[in-house]
Amino acid sequence: MRDTPAATQGTESLGPRIARHVADLLRLAWPVMLSRAGILLMAFCDIAMLGRYGPGAVGEANLGLSVFVPVLVIAIGLSSGIAPVVAHAFGRGDWAECGQAWRRGMVWAVVISTLGAWAVWQGEWVLAALGQSPDFAAPGGAVAQALAPGLVAQTVFAVSAFYLEATRRPMAGLVVMLFANLANFGLNWLLIYGNAGFPEMGAVGAALASTVVRFGAAVAMVGMILTQREARRAGVTGPQETFWGPGGWRAGYLMRKLGLSAGLSNGFETVGFATMSLFAATLGPLALDAYSISHNLVSTLFMVGLGLAVATGVRVGIETGRGRPDEAAFAGWTGLGVAFVTMGILGAAVFLGRHQIAAIYTDDPAIIARAGALFMFAAFAFIPDSAQVVMGQAVRALGDAWVAIVAYILAFTVLLIPMGWWMINRGGWDESGLLVAIIFCCAVAVALLAWRFRVLTRGARAP
């Protein structure tokens, strides 16, 4: 996939320039959006099928995911430094460095995700330490253990997707995720309900199905990269040189630096969101089920915003690699604007169809009513939640690592956790207060990251 030509940008007026940037962004973003949505569509499928399995199954799955997802997001974030590194190399025309960066990223991904999988395996202990009763901690911990091995596979899949997206080949991830979701549905049918002679495993069965599918998806992505035309010229095969890949530990410095920024930033955000789930659990099983459904909807549609963010980061990185700072700046602001419009439309659709959407997740009238009420608040979370990740990717694509961490610590640790606790314990709110806290803190993150991007691009001149 090639960029829209910008040869005439010196005489290009604002309208055509915006149209060119939006068109190029969407060409890259739509397959990324759908492939990212496919990752959480598996979770949606799990929740929807568990909602028809029996009361409490959704809550058990969500508790297991509350351990798994923060560690997964941190692992993927730590590995995501490959995206700007590959985008810069692609912008310079250094095709071999793109592949060598992927190989360094693969080693790094396997190391950190293996450590993460061990941490998730301790899920029951983690849930108990966070105040969950044994009745919640034990089944939630069993789900976490079933999910743990899949953390390695999902991180390998993510690194491979970052490489392909940064080299403007995003369709591979979309195709793999399509087949992965079909396989997940089939395995869920077997393992949740015990059909065709398989054991009836409920929430643990859904987790095992996801793990099997994640390994299949990872193998497919790696296979496509290794069998591409002229693989050696592309740098994806050849001498490994050291354990850490071509060029050794030093060659991966920028990848790890930017990945550390993304990993810590994502980690603070995800821990903050997971803490909201734990707060919801203190309000009782019905509140936890309703909040879990609402959180799954927000997370699933967030994948649209994440797709826009990845595409924005790739475009900013490529233009930076080409030495066109004005185009890099415009690419970042275009991504933010498209995120506002796209997520605003999705938010309006959720607001208007909130009860119908809730009925997709479960057939329990009490949960439908409570989740539908939460969707009114969730609809307003889509814009700030997506805008903050777009700006975070744009800032890191310019090589800035540390200011984003400060923004995420402030928004999702210093503000979100105490605000969420106060809303339900002192403010008189039910679980909807947790969504109000999320909306406010995401808006704070957007403001801080947009300010930083403006500072970094202040010297870029309009053509």
Residues in the chain: 463
Question: What's the burial of 55, exposed, middle or buried (CB within 10 Å: 0-12/13-18/19+)?
Answer: middle
Residue 8 is predicted with a pLDDT of 46
39-53, 221-235, 249-263, 276-290: range with lowest mean pLDDT: 39-53
> CA-to-CA distance for 353 and 246, rounded, in angstroms?
52
Packing angle between helix 432-456 and helix 285-321, nearest 10 degrees? 10
Residue 277 is predicted with a pLDDT of 84
- Comparing CA positions, the residue from 419, 398, 387 lying closest to residue 261 is 398
The region that residue 198 occupies, defined by phi over 0 for left and psi between -120 and 50 for alpha, beta otherwise, is beta
Chain segment 130-169, per-residue pLDDT in tens: 888 888 899 899 999 999 999 999 999 999 999 999 998 9
Q: Is the pLDDT of residue 327 over 60?
A: yes
Contact predicate 339/387, CB 8 Å: yes
Residue type, 342: T
Chain segment 367-419, per-residue pLDDT in tens: 888 888 889 898 999 999 999 999 999 999 998 888 888 999 999 999 999 99
> CA-to-CA distance for 105 and 160, rounded, in angstroms?
9
Quote the percentage of the chain above a pLDDT of 90.
Answer: 51
Label each residue of the chain as H, E or C.
CCCCCCCCHHHCCHHHHHHHHHHHHHHHHHHHHHHHHHHHHHHHHHHHHHHCCCCCHHHHHHHHHHHHHHHHHHHHHHHCCHHHHHHHHHHHCCHHHHHHHHHHHHHHHHHHHHHHHHHHHCHHHHHHHCCCCHHHHHHHHHHHHHHCCHHHHHHHHHHHHHHHHHCCCCHHHHHHHHHHHHHHHHHHHHHCCCHHHCCCCHHHHHHHHHHHHHHHHHHHHHHHHHCCCCCCCCCCCCCCCCCCCCCHHHHCHHHHHHHHHHHHHHHHHHHHHHHHHHHHHCCCHHHHHHHHHHHHHHHHHHHHHHHHHHHHHHHHHHHHHCCCHHHHHHHHHHHHHHHHHHHHHHHHHHHHCHHHHHHHHCCCHHHHHHHHHHHHHHCCCHHHHHHHHHHHHHHHHCCCCHHHHHHHHHHHHHHHHHHHHHHHHCCCCCCHHHHHHHHHHHHHHHHHHHHHHHHHCCCCCCC
Mean pLDDT of the chain: 88
Residue 297 is predicted with a pLDDT of 84
Residue that wins the pLDDT comparison between 314 and 306: 314
Chain segment 69-99, per-residue pLDDT in tens: 888 888 988 998 999 999 999 988 898 999 9
Ordered by start, the domain boundaries in the chain are 13-456
Retrieve residue 205's tokens.
């069965």
pTM of the complete model beyond 0.85: no
Retrieve residue 345's tokens.
């439309």
460 band by pLDDT with thresholds 50, 70 and 90 = low
Residue that wins the pLDDT comparison between 454 and 304: 454
Chain segment 255-296, per-residue pLDDT in tens: 999 889 888 887 788 788 888 988 888 888 888 888 888 887
Chain segment 101-111, per-residue pLDDT in tens: 999 999 999 99
> CA-to-CA distance for 448 and 95, rounded, in angstroms?
35
Q: Is the pLDDT of residue 451 over 80?
A: yes
> CA-to-CA distance for 94 and 242, rounded, in angstroms?
21
